[in-house]
Structure 1
Amino acid sequence: MYIPKAFHVDDVNELITFIRNHSFGIMVSQTEEEPFATHLPFLLDEQKGENGVLISHLARANPHWQGLQDQKVLVVFQGPHAYISPTWYDEPRTVPTWNYVAVHVYGTFRQIQDKHKVKEWIEKTVNVYEQTMNPPWEAVFDEPFMEGLLNGIVAFEIEVERMEGNWKLNQNHPIERQERVVKKLKSINEPNAQKMAELMEKEIEKRNK
């Protein structure tokens, strides 16, 4: 990913937090004919391996997993994004842009064959996404129904080799311009705009310290 120096984030803890908060990613690999992408939820276990592992599963009917063993893949995690109009700067010689936050993870795909490990990670995944539900749904693996579902998926982990973050928040502009953009974003009743304003405010606070 092309990342200008002003937007580059390499703080591992910040990248990990971002992945946990925006865990629905896109796994991309290259086939003989063309690129292949699958949209999936991921769990990150930073305690496993040298740099951590991403764990997920996909439908066995999805051909993406075939021939992917020990191959390099890219997983893209995207956060808030918003169009920025040059009129917001209230200055001449400015142009439109798009602010966004994203993390790219590069690693090696490995299928999880052990059924006990598959069940363990499915249970962890369910617990993570059900923790805010009332009541939460639980996976009961001794039911024939669940056994059939397990046979229909392919669980895998991606051994992380490197992560890179791109926080494009107008850092290449003077703080006065950034503050004008924040004000405009706050006036837009749209979740991405509101979250982008919040992120930009935090970035401005860091620069003012």
Structure 2
Amino acid sequence: MRQNPSFTMASEDAVKRLIREHPWMTIVSQTSAAGLVASHYPVLLDETAEGIVLLTHVGRPDDVVHELGRHEILVIVQGPHGYISPGWYDASPAVPTWNFVTAHLYGTPELLSADENLRVLEALVDHFEDPMPEPRRMRGTAENSAYADSIATGTVGLRIPITRFVAKNKMSQNKPAETVDRIIAELEGDGPYASPALAAEMRRTHETIRAARA
């Protein structure tokens, strides 16, 4: 990913926040048998570990297709993103752009035992069920527990310690404050490119910048 000093996101804490808020990720491997391979899975941050450590699972035979455990992989996390019209700028002439926040995470997966895989699967289910009015647990009943155990055999758990990352937070940091405010207002509006999530991310970024300058 091409970097620009104005948009570089070097903070580990910022990357962890991105992972927590956007847990659907792309796993990419350069394999000896099939070349480039990509899959998509939900991923959790291991909050007990130092640094960035991901917990996830893949469905068989993705573990074989990706040759997991044999080489470094790339995990891509994508946050809010969207089109920014030049009509929202003061300047003329102007060209459009795309604002986004994303991180490329690199590490070699560790394949988990069957028991560890079950714990990761339970943690994933709990994480996404917790906000529900009546959470359904993987082992909520004996019947569901038995069913979950049978399904779990078709998956492989992964622990991925991240050894390096490249992250980018492009939120119009190179634009004047008045232009930034106008872009946010458009994103919060009802136009064809409205995006409340991207507007919120822009607000967070520029509030942090303004606080640092104060």
Task: Provide TM-score, normalisation by structure 2.
Answer: 0.87
Q: For 1:74, give the aligned amino acid.
A: L
Number of residues of Structure 1 aligned to a counterpart in Structure 2: 207
- 1:120 aligned partner: 119
Aligned to 1:87: 87
193-202 or 71-80, larger mean C-alpha shift: 193-202
Q: Which stretch shifts more, 65-74 or 11-20?
A: 65-74
Greater Cα offset, 22-31 or 116-125 = 116-125
Letter in 2 for 1:180: R
List aligned pairs for 1:20-35, cutoff 5 A.
20-32=20-32, 33-35=34-36
**1:138 to 2:140 alignment:** no
In structure 1, the residue matched to 2:42 is: 41
Residue aligned with 1:9, SS: coil
- Structure-to-structure mapping, 1:45-64, within 5 angstroms: 45-48=46-49, 51-62=51-62
Structure 1 residue 204 displacement after superposition: 2.7
Code of the residue aligned with 2:131 in structure 1: it is T
Compared with structure 1, are the counterparts of its residues 145 and 197 closer, same or farther at alpha carbon in structure 2 (3 Å cutoff)?
closer
> Does the C-alpha gap of structure 1 residues 95 and 198 become closer, same or farther in structure 2, counting only changes over 3 Å?
same
The answer to whether 1:163 aligns with 2:165 is yes
For 1:44 and 1:117, the matched residues in 2 are separated by 15
Unpaired segments ≥5 residues, structure 1: none
Counterpart of 1:201, as a letter, is R
Runs of 4+ in 1 over 4 A off after TM superposition: 63-66, 189-192
Deviation at 1:20, TM superposition (A): 0.5
How large is the Cα RMSD of the aligned pairs?
Answer: 2.2
Kept in 2, the 8 Å contact 1:36–1:64? The answer is: no
Contact 1:51–1:162 under 8 Å retained in 2: no
Q: Could you say if the C-alpha distance between residues 152 and 190 of structure 1 is closer, same or farther in structure 2, counting changes exceeding 3 Å?
A: farther
* Residues 121 and 180 of structure 1: CA distance in aligned 2, closer, same or farther (over 3 Å): same
TM-score (norm 1): 0.89
Q: Give 5+ residue unaligned stretches, structure 2.
A: none
What do the CA deviations read for 1:51-79 (whole angstroms, capped 9, x no partner)?
A: 33211111113365552213101111111
Is this contact kept in 1: 2:16–2:52, CA < 8 A?
A: no
Render the CA deviation track for 1:28-63: whole Å, top value 9, x for unaligned: 111234311111000111433x53321111111336
2: CA distance, partners of 1:68 / 1:207: 40
Contact 2:188 2:194 in 1 (8 A): no
Deviation of 1:166 (Å): 0.9
CA distance in 2, matches of 1:204, 1:52: 25
Identity score, percent: 31
Show CA shifts across 1:64-121 (max 9, x none): 5552213101111111111011111032121110001112211111211x22212211
Please tell me the residue identity of whatever aligns with 1:207.
I
